[in-house]
Structure 1
Amino acid sequence: MVFSVKTFNNINKIGLAELGNGIQIDGDKSDNPDAYILRSESLHGKAFPENLKAIARAGAGTNNIPIDEATAAGIVVFNTPGANANAVKEAVITSLLLSARDYFSATNWTNTLKGADVPKQIEAGKSQFAGTEISGKTLGVIGLGAIGARIANDARRLGMNVLGYDPYVSIETAWSISSHVKRVNDLKEIFNQADYITVHVPLNDDTKETFNEEAFAQMKKGVTLVNFARDELVNHKALFAALEADVVKRYITDFGTEDLLHQDKITVFPHVGGSTEEAELNCAIMASQTVRQFLETGEITNSVNFPNMHQVQDAPYRITLINKNVPNIVAKISTAVSDLDINIDNILNRSRGDYAYTLLDLDESNKDKVDSLVQAFEDNQDIIRVRLIELKK
C-alpha cells in the first residue's frame, strides 16, 4: 500500500527521505493525504481531510494544531521532543552570556559613534558596559525536559549554581541531570534566589501566565528572565511593572509581539531559538520516522494525544482501533473477534483521557473473516477509526 504525506513549511528534504520509498510526498498539493508533516502552519479553523490519520509537528510545540479536534476525529498527533533541544540550549546560554555583559546595549551604543576618534570614544565610554560574569550566579531552570536538562547541566559546567523545578520530570531525563543541580519543589525558591531564570514548559491552563504580578513580587531585584518557551507564559502588564521597578533587569524572549518591541530592557528574537540547520534536519528526520512507523505498523512514538504503543507483529493481520475510553470496550472487542471464530495473537490497549488506542493482532489467514471483523468494528459507535495492516513478507 502506498501512503500519501502532505508537507508544509519547507520540511528538510534529507529528513523526509526517512519516509522511505513506500510513502508518496505530495508537498502542499494533496487534498486527502494519510498524514501531514508541518512546522508553523496553523491548522486551527481548518477542516481535516477524511483520510487524514496522522499529523506530525517537526518541533516540540503543538499550539498550531487543534489537539482536541484531531483526537475526536481519530487523528494521532506527533511532535519531535528533543530534536531541536541543543539548538535552543545554545540560544539560551548565549542569551545569558550576552545579557550578563550587556552586549546588547554595548553594540547599539557603539554603532551610534561617528568620527575619526571612534577608538577614543570607545575607550572613554566602555566602562558603562563592564557587566558581570555568570560564574557564581544562580540560575533557575523551570522545566527539566530535553531542553531544560541540557541548560541546567551546561550552566553548571560554566560555574553557575543551578536550581531546577519540574514536578513532572521523567525518570529518563532525571538520570541525565547532573547531581549538582538542586531540585526544588516550589517555584518560590527559584523566584527568591535566582539571578537568572529560564523557562521551558508547555503552555496549558496550569502554566499560562506563570510569570504574573505575584511571581514578580517574589523575585530578587535585578533578575534576568529568559523565555524561549511560549509568550503566554508571561503576563506583559506585570512584566512591564517589574521592569519599571528594576525587579527584572532584562527580559529576553524568542516570541515577539508589538508591545515588547522598542523597549530598552527587552530583547526580542524572531523565534529562531530552534532554527539551526542541524535542528531542522533532526526534526524532519524524527517526524518522518514516527509517521512512517505509524502508517506502516500502527505503532505510536512521541504522540501528544495518544499513549506510546509498541508491539511486534508476527500475525498475518493487525487491526488498530481508536476508540472512546468507555467501560468494557476491550471485552467488546474480544467478543467481536471470538464471534467470528478468530484467534487473538496479541492485544495491547492503552488509554489517555477520554480516548484509547488498541493494537489487535489476529492469528487468522482468511481475509474475508478479517474484513467482516473490520466492518463490525466500523459499525461500533464507540470506535472512531479502524485500520487494517497486513504483515509485510
Structure 2
Amino acid sequence: MNISAQTVSSRFQAASRLAPIGVSEILKITSLAADLKRQGRDVIVLGTGEPDFDTPDHVKEAARRAIEAGETKYTALDGTPELKAAIRAKFMRDNGLEFAQDEITVSAGAKQILFNAMMATLEPGDEVIIPTPYWVTYADIVRIMGGKPVFVRGEEVNGFRLIAEDLARAITSRTRWVILNSPSNPSGSAYSEAQYRPILDMLIAHPNVWLMVDDIYEHIVYDEFRFVTPAAIEPSLRDRTLTINGVSKAYAMTGWRIGYAGGPSALIRSMSVVQSQSTSCPSSISQAAAIEALNGPMEIVRERCKSFQTRRDFVVSALNNIEGVTCRMPEGAFYTFACCAGLIGRKMPSGQRISSDVDFAEYLLHTVGVAVVPGTAFGLAPYFRISYATSVPELEEACRRIAHAASRLT
C-alpha cells in the first residue's frame, strides 16, 4: 500500500521539551539577511557574534602538523592530556586558578559545556537565575532540561550588571545555578572585582546555589579594564563554580569548536557521562590547534583587540549622534547594545508605526539593508545589538544607513 508523503509527515510529533524553544532570533535574522542577499539586495549583516579575522597562522600550522602526524583518531573523552595541561597552565597564568587534571573538561564548543552542565545537574523545575540582557542559549538550554530560567533585569544605569539585592530577591529553594557572563554578549558590559564582590558575598550566604561563569570574551577588553573571574576573587566558592571559556572569540577559532571549563571533579565527571553519550571527544585536529592557541604568543590577540576597540569607539560615537538613539560604551566583547526608546512611537515613511525594537530592526533590514538583532531577543527592550566584528568601511556605511533610516521616522 502506498502512503503519501503528506500522511507520513503528519505522523511526526516533536518532543514536548521542544515546545518552548524556537530557532535563535540571531539565526533567523542572519538567515533572512542571507536570503535578501541571494535576491540581489545590498545587505550589511551586523548580527553575527564571530570575529572577522582569520585563525592565526601558527594555530593553523599546528593543525596541519597534527594531520601529517596522523593525529586523526578518537582522543580521550573530554580532552587530550596535552590540551588539558595547556588549559590548566592558562588558568594559572591568566587567572591564578589551580585545577587538577580531573577538574578540566573539553567539549565541541562552550555551548556544549553549558549543555553538559545543565544536563548533568538540573531536575525538572529547578531554577537558573539569568541576568538580562542574556545570550539566548542560556535560557533555552535550561528549558530543554526541564528547568526554569529566572530572569533578573540588568538596568542600563548599572551597566546592565546584576545587582546583589536583585539576586537575593530571585533566589528560592529551587535555585540551582546563577549564570554570569563577563564581558557580556550582548551588552559588552563587564564586572570589575568590586562589582563582583556583593554578588559573591550573596552567594556565600546561599550554599546550595552554584555559579556558572562564562568568560569566553576574557581577552577582548578595553580602556585598561582588568578582567577578573569569580573563583579567583572568592576561593570559598571555587568548589561550586564552573568557569567556562574557549578559543573561539579571542583566537578567531569559531569553526574549530573547542570550549573548555574548570570546576569541581564530581561535576566534571558527571558532565563527561553526558558527553560520552552525545558527541564523545572533540575533534582531534581542533584540540591540537587549541593547544597551540593557548600556549602560543598573545601579540596577535592584543593587536586584534586594539582593532576592535577602534571599531567600538567609532560605532558608539556614530550611534550617539543619531537622534532618538543612545549607546553605552561597553568594556569588552565586540558588541554595542544601543537603546532606541527615542524612536518608539514614530512612523515609518509607509505610515506604519515603530512600536518595538523588533519593528525597528525589521525596518532597518527591509529599508536600508542593515541587519541588527533586537534587544527583545536577549530579554531586554527597547535595544538593538550591533556586532562590530566586521570591517571599518562596512561599519561606516552601516551607521550611515541607520542614521538615514532614523531620520526618516516622523
Under TM normalisation by the shorter chain, which class is it?
under 0.3
- Greater strand percent: which structure? 1
TM-score between both structures, scaled by the size of structure 2: 0.27
Between Structure 1 and Structure 2, the one with more helix by share is: 2
TM (norm. structure 1) is 0.28
Q: Please identify the structure whose Cα radius of gyration is greater.
A: 1
The structure, 1 or 2, with the larger RCO (C-alpha pairs under 8 Å, 6+ apart) is: 2
